[in-house]
């Protein structure tokens, strides 16, 4: 419309008539209206563009920064550092694991909690990992000779709450194996086991139990169970002391009940999700009651080994548990049990595992075998 008015004005400019004056007035009004519409829209558009430009870097600014020794940078969130590995969560690859020795610097939006070997804690937003030590916050810009921490002092970054005395951690496994066979031979087998661990800052409670019952042609062929209870108190780093109370029954080995109780000392070599290893030993009092043989009681040297490790990026977990009792009054009498297997995590905590169990008793009752070996395929749940 504005262009039409302009053309009309050009034509009528040669003739100053009332019509031309009216057209000029109309053109001025249209221009004012157009400029008003633009001025109303332009501030809104400007504000929108300004906010967009401001918000674009916010996500990156609020993200934690990981600087590698090779110069590469990652943005995301520091999860934790444990066992020489840092877990770093990114928006594009999820949680990735980086070797601590390959990291040069960490910059976090929120303070990170650092737990040292002496179990004390400090906080820092910036951590620089050098060849000679670890610099924190303001010391990063200082000379490298003014180190905040020795490399060996740092144990964890953002440790689990139970490590700092806040609550506890409960983890465990429960497994089942069932076989039902009908035909020339009717056979039923039921195996079940449970392993629970309550972990506090300085205390640990463990319970392990298993049950085996087999029937062939409606006749019982196996009926036995075990229950072991451990209490541990950590008093000097990885050293701990505690007590064991265990019960065992095996009908077809003539064992009515074996009770084991006593103190122990142990060492926790490794303790993390990826790797665990503990060894322990101590004097035990053993009381054995049999169905037909005479009852017996004696002092023994007891020991235990617990080991598990994830392999192939947590595709499978190898585990080995071992317990033993060596009769100190009759050194030829040895009770030795082992569980060795592979555990495969599936989905939602469901696991399947294959296991070989070996039970040896050199002082078995008359008519009972010294060695019993069992192979089992299990389905269970882990948490």
Question: Which is more confident, 325 or 50?
Answer: 325
Closest by CA position to 219, among listed 186, 192, 249: 186
DSSP symbols for 273-288: SSEEEEEEEEEEEEEE
Closest by CA position to 143, among listed 135, 152, 151, 154: 135
Task: Return the residue matching tokens 């595709």.
Answer: 315
pLDDT reported for residue 15? 41
Instruction: Decide: 354 and 343 in contact? Cβ < 8 Å.
Output: no
Per-residue pLDDT tens over the stretch 354-376: 999 999 999 877 777 889 999 99
- In this predicted structure, the answer to whether residue 10 has a pLDDT above a threshold of 70 is no
Q: With b meaning 16 or more CB within 10 Å and e meaning fewer, what string describes 338-372?
A: bbebebebeeeeebebebebebbbebbbeebeeeb
Helices 18-55 and 2-12: crossing angle in degrees, nearest 10, is: 150
| Phi/psi at 90 (5° precision) | -115, 160
- pLDDT-wise least confident of 16-25, 85-94, 237-246, 364-373: 16-25
Q: What percent of the chain has pLDDT over 70?
A: 80
Question: Which is more confident, 367 or 23?
Answer: 367
Task: Return the residue matching tokens 């009852």.
Answer: 295
Instruction: Decide: 76 and 67 in contact? Cβ < 8 Å.
Output: no
The predicted model gives 282-308 an average pLDDT of 96
Question: Which is more confident, 114 or 369?
Answer: 114
Alpha carbon 265 to its chain centroid, in Å, reads 27
The predicted model gives 47-64 an average pLDDT of 55
Alpha carbon 18 to its chain centroid, in Å, reads 90
Burial of 383 (0-12, 13-18, 19+ CB in 10 A): exposed
pLDDT reported for residue 299? 97
Domains along the sequence of the chain with CATH? 2-55 (no CATH), 60-159 (no CATH), 169-382 (2.40.160.40)
pLDDT band at 238 (very low <50, low <70, confident <90, very high): very high
| Phi/psi at 60 (5° precision) | -70, -35
- In this predicted structure, the answer to whether residue 105 has a pLDDT above a threshold of 60 is yes
Instruction: Decide: 90 and 96 in contact? Cβ < 8 Å.
Output: yes
Alpha carbons within 13 A on the beta-carbon side of 55: 6
pLDDT band at 275 (very low <50, low <70, confident <90, very high): very high
The predicted model gives 99-123 an average pLDDT of 92
Task: Return the residue matching tokens 């302009």.
Answer: 6
The predicted model gives 12-22 an average pLDDT of 45
- pLDDT-wise least confident of 181-185, 224-228, 285-289: 181-185
pLDDT reported for residue 7? 45
Alpha-carbon distance of 149 to 126, in angstroms, equals: 13
pLDDT reported for residue 175? 96
The predicted model gives 62-69 an average pLDDT of 89
Instruction: Decide: 246 and 229 in contact? Cβ < 8 Å.
Output: yes
pLDDT band at 148 (very low <50, low <70, confident <90, very high): confident
Question: Which is more confident, 251 or 60?
Answer: 251
Average pLDDT score over the chain: 84
Instruction: Decide: 314 and 322 in contact? Cβ < 8 Å.
Output: no
Alpha carbon 263 to its chain centroid, in Å, reads 30
Most confident of 71-75, 82-86, 203-207: 203-207
Grouping H, G, I as helix, E, B as strand and the rest as coil, residue 35 is helix
pLDDT reported for residue 178? 82
pLDDT reported for residue 179? 77
Extract the tokens encoding 247.
Answer: 């019960």
pLDDT reported for residue 184? 66
- In this predicted structure, the answer to whether residue 143 has a pLDDT above a threshold of 60 is no
Alpha carbon 19 to its chain centroid, in Å, reads 87
Which residues, including other chains, have CB under 8 Å from residue 383's CB and lie 6 or more apart? Answer: 170, 171, 172, 349
């Amino acid at each position: 419309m504005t262009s039409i008015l302009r053309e009309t004005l050009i034509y009528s400019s040669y003739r100053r008539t009332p019509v031309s004056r009216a057209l000029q007035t109309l053109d001025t009004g249209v221009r004012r209206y157009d400029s008003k519409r633009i001025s109303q829209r332009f501030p809104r558009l400007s504000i929108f563009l300004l906010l967009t430009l401001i918000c674009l870097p916010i996500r990156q600014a609020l993200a934690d920064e990981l600087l590698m020794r090779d110069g590469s940078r990652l943005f995301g969130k520091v999860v934790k550092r444990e066992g020489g590995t840092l877990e770093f969560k990114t928006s594009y690859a999820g949680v990735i694991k980086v070797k601590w020795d390959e990291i040069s610097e960490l910059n976090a939006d929120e303070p990170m909690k650092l737990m040292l070997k002496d179990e004390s804690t400090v906080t820092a937003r910036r951590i620089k990992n050098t060849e000679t030590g670890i610099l924190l916050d303001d010391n990063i810009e200082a000379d490298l000779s003014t180190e905040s921490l020795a490399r060996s002092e740092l144990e964890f970054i953002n440790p689990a709450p139970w490590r700092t005395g806040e609550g506890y951690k409960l983890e465990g496994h429960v497994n089942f194996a069932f076989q039902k066979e009908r035909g020339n031979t009717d056979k039923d087998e039921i195996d079940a086991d449970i392993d629970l661990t309550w972990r506090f800052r300085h205390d640990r409670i463990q319970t392990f139990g298993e049950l085996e019952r087999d029937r062939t042609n409606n006749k019982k062929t196996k009926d036995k169970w075990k229950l072991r209870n451990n209490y541990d108190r950590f008093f000097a780093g990885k050293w701990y002391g505690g007590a064991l109370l265990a019960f065992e029954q095996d009908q077809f080995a003539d064992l009515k009940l074996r009770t084991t109780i006593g103190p122990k000392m142990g060492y926790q070599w490794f303790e993390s999700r990826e790797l665990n290893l503990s060894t322990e030993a101590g004097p035990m009092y053993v009381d054995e009651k049999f169905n037909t043989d005479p009852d017996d009681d004696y002092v023994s040297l007891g020991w235990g080994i617990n080991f598990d490790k994830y392999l192939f990026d947590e595709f499978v977990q190898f585990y080995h548990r071992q317990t033993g009792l060596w009769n100190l009054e009759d050194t030829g009498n040895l009770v030795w049990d082992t569980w060795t297997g592979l555990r495969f995590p599936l989905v939602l905590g469901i696991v399947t595992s294959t296991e070989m169990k070996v039970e040896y008793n050199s002082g078995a009752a008359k008519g009972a075998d010294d060695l019993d070996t069992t192979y089992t395929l299990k389905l269970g749940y882990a948490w």
